[in-house]
Amino acid sequence: MKRTLFRNQLLPWLLLAPQLAITFIFFLWPAAQAVRQSFLRQDAFGINTTFVGLSNFKALWNSPEYLNSLQVTAIFAVLVTVLSMGFALLLAVAVDRMIRSTSVYTTLLVWPYAVAPAVAGILWWFIFNPTIGVMPYFLDVIGYDWNHISSKSDAMTLVVIASAWKQISYNFLFFVAGLQSVPASLREAAAIDGAGPVRRFFDITVPLLSPTTFFLLVVNIVYAMFDTFGVIDATTEGGPAQATNILVYKVYFDGFVGQNMGSSAAQSVILMLIVIALTVVQFRYVEKKVAY
Amino acid sequence: MASITLDKVGKIYAGGTRAVGDVSIDIADGEFIVLVGPSGCGKSTLLRMVAGLESISEGTVRIGDRVVNDIEPADRDIAMVFQNYALYPHMSVRQNLAYGLKNRRTPKAEIDKRVAQAAEILQIGPFLDRKPRALSGGQRQRVAMGRAIVREPAAFLFDEPLSNLDAKLRVTMRLEIKELQRRLRTTSIYVTHDQLEAMTLADRLVVLNAGRIEQIGTPLEVYRRPASTFVASFIGSPAMNLISRHAVPHLPGTAHAGTIGIRPEDLAVAPDGPIEMEVLAVEELGAQRLVHGQTGGERLTVTMPSGEPLPEYLRLAYRPGSLHLFEADTGRRID
């Protein structure tokens, strides 16, 4: 690594200052506030604040709504991750097999990533709108009565599709890069060793892709748990009957709509711990365990 | 065990570029054939066509008495050693060796037996449970060969297998490959751009240039009677001197030739020799020295024993019968 030596002690701090300021103002300070608030209870008008210890956390542990939200989040995260990674791998394999116009397809397939989550949500909300949407019309033809406003499973399907669709591009890019780093001679050697295309894929390509796959697994879980707020807010708002109320949406809803700051803060502290855990997993294992 | 026959084989790429044309070779059962030529001469393409990794645009390839043009690589009963070894990095050496047998549903006991045999032959027994990245270049090379021999195929195909090794190891591995092939008697096709490797390994050499065969023959045949100026300049180190007849007009029996070839070792200092050379540079090799100079505007190299400092001008004589004569326009040999 290249080291630069500063003669002046002040200059390096000055150079770091903007980034440190942003980190402090927009991350460390609010995080500290959240932690502080999670131990407090505030009345509805924000006048009286009392220290209540861990009772906000205890209340969550005893709240069926919160436990439901945990379960919904787990199901949602697994579905989004499996769906977006599965489709991305399929597309990446298809593009990797192409000889010409690879870059054109790659560029086209990356576009959804540029769409803001809320816009993606609205897009799919229109497509699946029970009154004016095109998908309910087609589903009606095959005899399925789509209504994500009243059906829990329809609502879940909608948010999963909208969230997964956005993430496919990102996963696709990593998978294409991963596939292209698998030497052609390995696949050729396997072909001579009597492995057919399917076998080659599972015996050679998949194991060699595993570092990419594991990295994406963590990134996608984080995405599904945190970055899908816009999608949920634009489509189902957590409904119907809490069916799509994932943890991050519940934090917002309980805090800003329900005005229960203490509980909301406690929930965000739990989310923070989950992110920290995922990050630790990422750093500890992505290099060591999965590498061949 | 099988013979391999290439009949008027050619390769034309989608863009219309011709990489290989009109290549016919009969390879006998158990023979060690080396395809040699400069980079881009089509030797690797030719090998990959035999392996089934490239489609065959023209002609037919036979392995044994079977035309294999439309047969999958796996079903051609060949094994290939790749330039970068192409070992499966996530599998142990044992799994690498066993993979081809496992895919062919060989019984477990038989696989174990053959892997043990190959490990014994190649002395890789201690590394069987290591991953390829924990091996040195030479060990990886052995594993790659092990993967080829466990299959007991009809033919081995080698694609520049030694070019990633350092010079010293290359010489050792060269000998090992040669001994292994002698022992197993498996028909082999070996691709290299290194003429020394080609000379030392081959039963017969196939010299390729621009996708076509220049000459087929045993190393000594090719060395002693190169069929063209290309072969003459490519085989042998230091390269044969090729000089225009006009630079040495007085040499007897050369009137009908365009180019005259003389190997550096066939020239010697002689006070009454017919060629006068101006000395330009001397390379000392220890026992020998290479003397570079010019005569009549043409470059000339002479091999001679090391010794006294040289004068500015030398008179040279050639060993009788050592001149190679080539046509002026085609560069083909004149007999």
Task: Give CA–CA dist B24/B32, Å, rounded.
Answer: 16
Most B CBs within 10 A among A99, A181, A188, A193, hence the mutation to make, goes to A193
Phi/psi class of residue A194: alpha, beta or left (left: φ > 0; alpha: ψ in -120 to 50)?
left
B200 and B249 inside one domain: no
**Burial letters A14-31, b for 16+ CB under 10 A, else e:** eeeeeeeeeeeeeeeeee
From B73, B83, B84, residue closest to A192, measured CB to CB = B73
Tokens for B267, please give them. Answer: 């020239």
Alpha-carbon radius of gyration of chain A = 23
Q: Are residues B226 and B254 in the same domain?
A: no
* Secondary structure (3-state) at A35: helix
B90 contact A CB<8A: yes
Contact residues on chain B for A208, CB-CB shorter than 8 A: 89-90
Beta pairing class for B78-81 and B32-36 = unpaired
Cβ of B90 within 8 Å of Cβ of A208? The answer is yes
Instruction: Please tell me whether residues B25 and B76 are part of one structural domain.
Output: yes
Those residues whose C-beta lies under 8 Å from the C-beta of residue B169, and which sit 6 or more positions away, are: B137, B138
Whether residue B330 is found in the same domain as residue B226: no
ipTM of predicted assembly, 2 dp: 0.84
**A168 touches B: beta carbon within 8 Å:** no
Domain count, chain B: 2
Quote the pLDDT of residue B273.
87
Which residues is B298 bridged to in the sheet?
B295
B156 in Cβ contact with B189 (< 8 Å): yes
Per the CB < 8 A criterion, the answer to whether B63 and B73 are in contact is: no
Chains A & B: contacts with CB separation below 8 Å: 60
B104 touches chain A (CB under 8 A): yes
Task: List the one residue out of B332, B143, B119 whose CA is nearest residue B227.
Answer: B332
Residue type, A188: E
CB atoms B99 and A192 under 8 Å: no
Chain B residue at shortest CA distance from A291: B90
If asked whether residues B222 and B154 sit together in one domain, one would say yes
Query: Could you check whether the bond before residue B238 is cis, i.e. omega within 30 degrees of 0?
Result: yes
Q: Is residue A244 part of a domain?
A: yes
Is A191 within 8 Å of B90 when comparing Cβ atoms? no
B99 plus B178 within the same structural domain: yes
- In chain A, the number of structural domains is 1
Q: Confidence band (pLDDT; 50, 70, 90) for B209?
A: very high
**Domain span at A126:** 37-43+50-288
Tell whether B219 and B138 lie within a shared domain. yes
CATH number at residue B296: 2.40.50.140
Per-residue DSSP letter, B246: G
Is A207 part of any domain? yes
Q: The domain that contains B198 carries what CATH number?
A: 3.40.50.300
- The DSSP code sequence of B74-97 is GGGTEEEE-TT----TTS-HHHHH
3-class DSSP state of B231: helix
Residues of A in contact with B78 (CB under 8 A): 192
Residues 183-212 of A with CB under 8 A from B: 183, 185-186, 188-196, 199, 203-204, 207-208
Residues in chain A closer than 8 A to B73 (CB atoms): 188, 191-192
| Residue A6: inside a domain | no
CA of residue A21 relative to chain centroid, distance:
27
Each residue's pLDDT tens digit, B107-162: 999 999 999 999 988 888 889 999 999 998 889 999 999 999 998 899 999 999 99
Amino acid at B194: D
CATH number for the domain that contains residue A64? 1.10.3720.10
Tell me the pLDDT band of B43, cut-offs 50, 70 and 90.
very high
Taking CA–CA distances from A185, the nearest residue in chain B reads: B86
Same domain, B174 and B312: no
Q: What is the pLDDT of residue B9?
A: 93
Identify whether A13 is part of a domain: no
Q: Which two tokens stand for residue A37?
A: 């608030």
Q: Closest partner residue to B90 among A185, A194, A292, by Cβ?
A: A292
B181, B216, B231 - which closes a domain: B231
Domain end point (choices B215, B231, B247): B231
In a domain, A29, yes or no: no
* Residue at which a domain ends, from B231, B257, B274: B231
Q: What are the backbone dihedrals phi and psi of residue A84, each rounded to the nearest 5 degrees, phi first?
A: -70, -40
Q: Is residue A17 part of a domain?
A: no
Q: Which of B51, B82, B103 has its CB closest to that of A199?
A: B103
User: A53 to chain B nearest CA, in Å?
Assistant: 51
3-state secondary structure of A6: coil
Region of residue A217 (left: phi > 0; alpha: psi -120 to 50; beta: else): alpha
| Residue B73 touches partner A, C-beta closer than 8 Å | yes
Q: A198 vs chain B: nearest CA distance in angstroms?
A: 12
Same domain for B243 and B223:
no
In tens digits, chain A (292 residues) has pLDDT values of 456 677 778 888 899 999 999 999 998 998 888 888 888 877 766 677 778 777 788 888 888 888 888 899 999 999 999 999 999 999 998 888 776 677 788 788 888 888 887 888 888 888 888 888 888 888 888 888 888 788 888 889 888 998 898 889 889 989 988 888 888 899 999 999 988 889 999 999 999 998 889 889 988 998 898 888 888 888 888 778 778 888 888 888 888 887 778 888 888 899 889 888 888 888 887 666 554 5
Distance from CA of A194 to the nearest CA of B (A): 4
Do residue B183 and residue B226 come from a single domain? yes
Judging contacts by C-beta atoms under 8 Å, the chain A residues touching residue B79 are 192
User: Regarding beta strands B267-269 and B58-63, do their DSSP bridges make them parallel or antiparallel, or are they unpaired?
Assistant: unpaired
* Residue B294 and residue B175 in one domain: no
Q: Containing domain of residue B38, as a range?
A: 4-231
- Looking at residue A289, its pLDDT comes to 53
Nearest C-alpha in A relative to B54: A188
Tell me, yes or no, whether A272 lies in a domain. Answer: yes
Residues 73-132 on A with a CB inside 8 Å of B are: none
Residue of chain A whose alpha carbon sits nearest to that of B88: A186
